[in-house]
Structure 1
Amino acid sequence: MAARESGRIKDAYQKRVLDEAARKRRQKKALEALEQDNFHDDPHADLVMSKKVPKFQETLDNRGGRRKKTRSAEYYKQRFRKTFAQLVEEDLNINPNSPNYVSAQAPPSKFPERQFCAVCGFPSNYTCIPCGARYCSMKCLGTHLDTRCLKWTA
């Protein structure tokens, strides 16, 4: 009589399995792509309003006479916005000897590193064989395999 084997294990042998170095490269590339997506200039900053569009706020404020336009604090926040790297560099230049973002350190934890599910964020006990991502249940494994596992590799 032939021994039964798990379908999941049989499928795992057919899939590509990444070594640790490939996993790290893939993770670094994904983080760089996220960083590129996170910061960008306001796409609507250079829009020119049509002169034909009615200016409702201005008509309510004026009530006959012309008033000087005031700029809100939000205008200056958007105009002089700095990137995270610029803020860190500025902090380092202002107070080089005081504690800052670059010099802040904490000792390593006495406890083992906690592992969380890549899909839902709950604590996880299992690892995806091909890519090494963590998952906590069969439902999360299904979501991972359908949408995330080795989908965006270059």
Structure 2
Amino acid sequence: MTGRESNRIKDADKKRVLDEAARERRARKALEALEQDNFHEDPHADLVMSKKLPKFQDSLKSTKEKKPKRKTLESKAKYKKSLQQLLEEEKQLRPEGPNWFTAQAKPSKYPPRHFCAVCGVFSKYSCTACGTRYCSIRCLHTHQETRCLKWTA
């Protein structure tokens, strides 16, 4: 007569478990991919709004009731700069003084906090296969279905 076995123990042999170096490589590649996705110029920065187009928010107001004009989002968008542009300006303005590049802080005396990779809440647990943090069974299932070892390291 055979004993009952746990499905978790049966499935553990089938799972691929990464060592610490592979986990670090995988995390670094994921961060590099995110950096490449996030940095880009605003595709709408050079758009010019035509004054002939109707303004739908003003359609019911009478023409006699005009209020002083405020700066619109279009005029503010012209002056938006990317982080890279702001850093270059700061480097030129203050090459020696305290700036983004010379800022330092001593190491924290507290241990690092870990957050759930699925929902962002504090996490206590980590995936046995890839080491990603999760906070609950629900987030573990989401991680296993959609994220765990889906990208090659």
TM-score, with structure 2 as normaliser:
0.71
CA RMSD of aligned residues (A): 3.1
Pair 1:89 & 2:88 matched: yes
| Separation (CA, whole Å) in 2 of partners of 1:29 and 1:150 | 13
Give the number of aligned pairs: 140
- The 5 A counterparts of 1:25-64 are 25-44=25-44, 55-56=53-54
Per-residue deviation at 1:8? 2.2
- The 5 A counterparts of 1:1-154 are 5-44=5-44, 55-56=53-54, 74-75=73-74, 78-79=77-78, 81-153=80-152
* Change beyond 3 A, Cα 1:111–1:41: closer
* Change beyond 3 A, Cα 1:6–1:126: farther
- CA distances 1:114-137 after superposition (whole Å, capped 9, x unpaired): 222111222222110111001121
- For residue 26 of structure 1, what is the amino acid of its counterpart? R
Per-residue deviation at 1:111? 1.2
Per-residue deviation at 1:46? 6.6
Per-residue deviation at 1:87? 1.8
| Separation (CA, whole Å) in 2 of partners of 1:80 and 1:48 | 14
| Separation (CA, whole Å) in 2 of partners of 1:139 and 1:7 | 18
TM-score, with structure 1 as normaliser:
0.71
User: Is the 8 Å Cα contact of residues 12 and 129 (structure 1) preserved in structure 2?
Assistant: no
**Structure 2, gaps ≥5 residues long:** 64-70
| Separation (CA, whole Å) in 1 of partners of 2:114 and 2:144 | 19
| Separation (CA, whole Å) in 2 of partners of 1:98 and 1:44 | 35
Point out the structure with the larger helix share.
1
Identity of aligned residues (%): 60
- CA distances 1:84-126 after superposition (whole Å, capped 9, x unpaired): 2232132122112221111111111111112221112222221
Question: Which residue of structure 2 aligns with residue 66 of structure 1?
Answer: none
User: Is the 8 Å Cα contact of residues 12 and 130 (structure 1) preserved in structure 2?
Assistant: no
* Change beyond 3 A, Cα 1:140–1:111: same
| Separation (CA, whole Å) in 2 of partners of 1:45 and 1:98 | 32
